[in-house]
Chain A
Amino acid sequence: MAAAEKKSRKRDKTTETPKEIAKRIEQSAGSIVKEIETKKDPTFVTQQRGKSNVEFDEKKGLLRLGDKETERNFLNIGHARKFMQTMLVSSKTRDYLKENKTASIREIYYELKHTLGTSKENTFEDQGESDGCIVDLEHSVDTIREKLNLHANPKGTLYGDVTLRDKVHNNDIFNALKLGRGGWSIMSRIEPDEIEIKKVNAKYVLVIETAAMYERLIEEGFAKKQKAILVGTGGQAARGTRRLVHRLHTEAKLPVIVFTDGDPYGWYIYSVIKQGSMALAAHSDYLACPEAKYVGMTLDDVKEYGLENVTERMKDGDIKRAKEMMAYPWFQNKEWQEQLKKALTQKIRIEQQALANKSLEFVATEYLPKKIKKKQFLP
């Protein structure tokens, strides 16, 4: 299967029709069949994933997938199984596109899972195997998962004065400020042909790592008072959540401010919102917000707000992570190097909720409003 032409990156992946994508799957399958007919080793080509093929685009400030390609040859003993799996995923995805159905990545896993002949081996032993094939297919036919009619489990919530229209569900129109205390549960498929952003009445988007902090800010009436849209990620941001933040940033021209725990894990969540992730480096154009800013927590806050008594010790995993991050090209600026160095020398971390040590409302009335007003951000 020939790799998708690299030039096609410039094509707007969001406006392609299912028919066009199905056709590309058919083309690549056709070229594999041709290889079989001419007695060549059937080969599936996709872009190499992972750190070794991720580059940092300094100009645009986001992660990109490099040009390295990887081949999967059926006649290679180490590739055969993966090749077989990729063919199954290709075929099933094409069925979805043809039948205009969407499925979660867990559903496609279960749909394709069966025992091979009389052996004890299954087509897929766990969802990780089919997930990998889906990403390979995205790269190979140069599209995004949503366009393959596939989606992950939704995660992430939205609260604030933004009016959305769900085009695939009775054209429901709703305002995310009026859906109760929980806000709107962000769908994993959030493309413009499904969810339309009708109206926004806010000054910025605040992305929050922990669900507890998200709830605290809603209870304190932070969204209304500060004219903010709150997005709770519940840990690492899911693809749909990142896509929605990206759209609010690009379509509604809202600044994005990120608020996480003060530890390497939280800072990495910020970097994924801002520059994109290594796993989905190919889709940074659709997911990343290079202009996003970081409000906290920082290790400087500890001294600034007198939180010395409520810090925690960094665990071995945090230390390892900090060391790795110090070497990433997109963390090569004075401010972040300083933060990471501090973390490594002091070996402490500070959680968002540690601010409750001052008072429950402190975060909503003092910490965030002041820092945001004074633009006390990390880049």
Chain B
Amino acid sequence: MTEEKIKPVGAEELAKEFKEHSVAEFFKKNKQMLGLYGKVRTLTTVIHEYVSNSLDACEESNILPDIEVKIDELGSEYYEVTVKDNGPGLTEATVGKALGQLLAGTKFHRMMQMRGQQGIGSAGCTMLSQTTTGNPTKVITGTGKSKPISLKISIDPKHNSPKITDLKKIDKEFRGLAIQAKFKDVLYRDSEQGPLEYLRRTAIANPHAQIKFRDPEGKSYNFKRTLNKIPKPPKEVKPHPKGITVDELITLSKYTKSRNVNSFLKKDFDRMGNKGLEEVAKRTSFDLKKDPKQMSWHESEEIVKAFREIDFIAPTLDALSPIGEAQIKGSLESIVHPEFLTVNTRKPQVYAGGFPFQIEIAIAYGGNAGRQISSGEMRMEIMRFANRAPLLFDQGNCAITKAVHSVDWKRYGLRDLETAPLTILVNFISVHIPYTGAGKQAIADEDEVMEEVRLALMQSGRKTGMYISRKRKEKEKQMKREMFYKYIPEVAGALSRITKKNEEKLKNQLEKLVLEKLKLEEAKDAAEMEAEEVKNGSLDEQEKEETKENKKKSKKKKGAEE
């Protein structure tokens, strides 16, 4: 799958290719690659494009998002989608580029964490609507400053340029963007891959957003805002030296404005200072004053080797915008109502390529956690997110799924993971997500990513396990009490018949004895539990070791396959 991975350069090439072919041709050719296959998946992707654009736009303008989504069934496999937000809106000048020109606002080479990195973009939806139904997309938009406008937009496939018709000014107060488009050959399903689940997960990952949804049957859902704070917008960052590969270093060197390697390294890399340069100089055999564009593969190798040996400060966090522990807690509590919830935000790490990434994880147990399948049974669910955007497809190929299944959950009291009432949320945050393919629904199992997700899962898993064992003990206690209480009337009755003592009084006395005994046992359990928690610190180390072991094993396996 790695050859499909989209790298910054890949995007540039895509744009180049784009100029050479007609848009329609490109679209047809790349429909599959863009995730537009499968009737259910296509409809979900459309919702995703609109909603994630709304969320991004609101965040950039510091607005708490209010998003309304409506899907109406117009016929067999024929739907109309309406998405309305309260964002900054589009001007007459920008609306064409946003909705009427494919790949106009590509963010591929910006080292910034953005939802819009994925998929086909809103313009892709315009194109899809147009090719499946022949209809233009209806838009109403207002910036709050001038009067809102309504218009119809389509794409001129020959020139990849917007075609706007029916442009009107409206005499109503409105700020935001409302899009309405029709799609054929798509299908609405209330499944794990359907729009409802997509919106539910989006709401969980975006506690600052309010999302309302009306499905084709007229059923309404309201995912309420649980946080009145807009997340800090991410900044662009340079790659961290620790994670860069030779090939990537060469690529970057071709694009740099610097005239010598020294300044290229200093300016284009994160955490690279004079001291770092000195260290690189010590470890390399060529003159660092040379033009970076002239740097050979071998020289590039020397630098990468030096990077590996030198200590650098951890990558800057500015580019990453995690949801936050409190926020995840708030939204999961409001939407999943779990019995137990643990959230864990890990420290940022770097994966191959120098890209900082961060893992946020939550495990919700009990309540509405897990997913009820049609037979009524419960199934564990993994909610995968990349930069807060839910990943609904390609579950099996994803590093997150693989990491979940690599953990020995039995150790945490979960004998059968698949049927546990469990929601595992993993948010992978990075300026660049290593997707396995252009469909952008699965994260590649890079070693660093797997290790980090595993560690996070084990930490949260242990906490969940402790809750489960506490709960089991509580249940045992209750069973014990019930058992004693079942025997007490018999014992009291028999003793009363023999000794003529008052039966009720004996019963009460025995019940008191039982309760006192169970209380003592509980105190003992609590002390044991506390000791267990103290032990946790040292367990972290152990888990790290285990993860390393696992890595070694998988490497060995890979070797064997080769």
B494 interface residue (CB < 8 Å to A): yes
Give chain B residues whose Cβ lies under 8 Å from the Cβ of A168: none
Select the stretch in B210-218, B377-385, B483-491, B523-531 that faces chain A.
B483-491
**Candidates A39, A95, A121; contact of B513 at CB < 8 Å:** A39
B494–A33 CB distance below 8 A: no
Chain A binding site: helix, strand, loop or mixed by DSSP? Answer: helix
Q: Does B506 belong to the interface (CB within 8 Å)? A: yes
Contact among A29, A74, A75, A95 for B499, CB-based, below 8 A? A29
* A33–B502 alpha-carbon span in the complex (Å): 11
Q: Contacts A33-B495, A84-B491, A116-B490 given: A77-B483 contact, CB under 8 Å?
A: yes
A30 to chain B, nearest CB (A): 5
Which chain A positions have C-beta within 8 A of B487? 74, 80-81, 83-84, 116
Question: Which residues of chain A come closer than 8 Å to B506, judged between CB atoms?
Answer: 33, 36
Bound-complex Cα distance A75 to B517 (A): 7
Per-residue interface assignment for chain A, residues 273 to 289, with 1 indicating a CB less than 8 Å from any chain B CB and 0 otherwise: 00000000000000000
Minimum C-beta distance from B434 to chain A (A): 54
Measured CB to CB, the nearest residue on chain A to B484 is: A80
Q: Which of B489, B491, B513, B514 contacts A83 (CB 8 A)?
A: B491
**Contact residues in A for B517 (Cβ distance below 8 Å):** 41, 75
> Which residues from chain B contact A130 at a C-beta distance below 8 Å?
none
Residue of B nearest to A31 (CB): B499
List chain B residues, Cβ under 8 A from A42.
491, 510, 513
The contact of B490 among A39, A77, A84, by CB within 8 Å, is A84
Judge if A213 is at the interface, Cβ distance under 8 Å: no
Chain B residue nearest to A121 (CB atoms) is B486
Q: Is the pair B513, A94 in contact by a Cβ cutoff of 8 Å? A: no
Cα separation A245 to B180 with both chains bound (whole Å): 104
User: A58 CA to B89 CA in the complex, in Å?
Assistant: 106
CB-CB < 8 A to B483: which residues of A?
A: 77, 80-81
Specify which chain B residues have a CB less than 8 angstroms from the CB of A88 in the assembled complex: 490, 494
| Contact status B490-A90, CB under 8 Å | no
Is residue A26 contacting chain B, with contact meaning CB distance below 8 A? Answer: yes
Are A74 and B480 in touch, CB under 8 angstroms?
A: no
Q: Determine whether B132 belongs to the interface, using a CB cutoff of 8 Å to chain A.
A: no
Q: Closest chain B residue to A32 by CB distance?
A: B495
B479 → A minimal CB distance (Å): 10
State A88–B492 Cα separation when bound (angstroms).
10
Q: Which residues of A contact B493 (CB under 8 A)?
A: 91
Chain B min CB distance to A47 (Å): 21
Is A87 an interface residue when CB atoms closer than 8 A count as contact?
yes
Q: How far is the CB of B138 from chain A (nearest CB, A)?
A: 65
CB-CB under 8 A from A81, the residues of chain B are 483, 487
A48 contacts the other chain (Cβ, under 8 Å)?
no
Name the residue of chain A whose CB is nearest to the CB of B501. Answer: A33
Q: Provided the pairs A25-B498, A32-B495, A77-B480 are in contact, do residues A41 and B513 lie with their beta carbons within 8 angstroms? A: yes
Q: Which residues of A sit under 8 angstroms from B484, Cβ to Cβ? A: 74-75, 80
Task: Decide: A119 and B486 in contact? CB cutoff 8 A.
Answer: yes
A39 to B513, CA, bound (A): 6
> Which chain B positions have C-beta within 8 A of A84?
487, 490-491
Task: Please give the distance in Å from B8's CB to the nearest CB on chain A.
Answer: 66
Q: Does A123 contact B (CB under 8 A)?
A: yes
Most B CB contacts (10 A, CB to CB) among A84, A119, A123 go to: A84
Quick check: is B550 within 8 A (CB to CB) of the other chain? Answer: no
A residues near B495, Cβ cutoff 8 Å: 29, 32-33, 36, 87, 91
- Binary interface profile of A, 102-141, with partner B (CB < 8 Å = 1, else 0)? 0000000000000011010101000000000000000000
Complex CA distance for A298 and B526, rounded to whole angstroms = 65
Residue of B nearest to A25 (CB): B498
Additional A-B contacts beyond A75-B514, A77-B480, A81-B483 (10; CB < 8 A): A26-B499, A29-B499, A33-B506, A36-B509, A42-B491, A74-B487, A87-B495, A88-B494, A94-B498, A117-B489
- The 6 closest A-B CB pairs, nearest first, are A91-B494, A87-B494, A29-B498, A84-B487, A91-B497, A116-B486
Q: What are 7 of the A-B contact pairs (CB < 8 Å)?
A: A41-B513, A83-B491, A84-B487, A87-B490, A87-B491, A94-B498, A119-B486
